[in-house]
Amino acid sequence: MRPGRTGETLMSRTLPYAALAGLAGVLMFAAFLYVPVLGALIMQASVLPLLVVGLRFGAASALAAAIVATGAALVFLPWAMVPVQVLLDGVPAVLVCALALRSAPGLGRGALPAEGAAAWYPAGHVLAWLSAAALGLLALFALGVPTGEASLEAVVAGAVHDALTSVLAEAPVEARAQVLAAMPAYLPGVFLATWVTRITLCAMLAQALLARRKVASRPTPVYSALDLPSWQVGLFLAALAGGVGLGGDAGYLAANAAFGLAMPLVAMGLVLVHQAARLLPHPGVALGAFYGLMVLGSTAALAAVAGLGVVEVMIKRRGPQGLA
């Protein structure tokens, strides 16, 4: 085969798969418009087809699927939702696939990964960059919200109040007040955390599906050996300090940023929890009780698990083989 033709041949061979993945992703994303309750659940996995084709054939295929998805979104979605679909699905799919299929940092530019998960870009680093990308979403939110004289927090609270009041117009006043009181103050941050979690779980599922069929481009990472770069922990601690120490919009944005940046650390903490549970006589029961407490404890429980993750990263950095 002539030099330079391999990439073109591969792309032409994988383009139909990318097109199908992009179309499937948009149909899943648009499901909430047509099936309100079930559609909202289907929408959570709308990035999965893009990740499957990208992790199978490469980042270029993920990009092709994202482009097809954008075109299909113009047909199946209100035009105002098209950039939302691009930001929530297309951009993270390309980012995750481009990073996940890279060589490990120590192999050098252009090196081809060898056998074994350690020769590939670490899963923790992919997760760290995904959480950093969430800051871009937060920046776009801050730039796109017309605040006028009001603060960002007041604008968000007002928008949530108006939306829920409209949706729950027929509900009793007391029930409506309870729902409004239960809404988190840092709603953008909760959205960022959910976004990072959603993309991460879909990427893990896509890799598992490909590995099961023995067509994965890279070995499945060893998730129990998850590690994070030091800069990710630094970003989280800086955002946390800003949220506590700063006032006004700057403090509100920093606190919301901490939510998105906390999710990789939550993953680190959960690794520790699972390792500890294996030492118990009935690990399944212990983990079930733990996750039940997490659901009940909500923000406080997540903060505690993220704290475990920070400690674990610091311990690894102090070790002889810690990586910066």
Q: What is the pLDDT of residue 324?
A: 41
How far is the first Cα of the chain from the last one, in angstroms, to the nearest whole number?
Answer: 42
Q: Each residue of 275-319: pLDDT tens digit?
A: 888 888 888 888 888 788 777 766 777 888 888 888 888 887 775
Q: What is the pLDDT of residue 178?
A: 66
Q: For CA atoms 129, 239, 205, 219, give the dihedral sign.
A: positive
The distance of Cα 134 from the centroid of its chain, to the nearest Å, equals 8
Report the percent of the chain where pLDDT is more than 90.
41
Helix axes 36-43, 5-29, angle to 10 degrees: 150
Stated pTM of the model: 0.85
Beta bridge mates, 120: 103
| Buried b / exposed e along 188-216 (16+ C-beta atoms within 10 A) | bbbbbbebbebbbebbeebbebbeeeeeb
**pLDDT tier at 241, thresholds 50, 70, 90:** very high
Q: Each residue of 215-231: pLDDT tens digit?
A: 988 889 888 888 898 89
**Region class of 140: left (phi > 0), else alpha (psi between -120 and 50), else beta:** alpha
Distance CA 259, CA 235 (A): 11
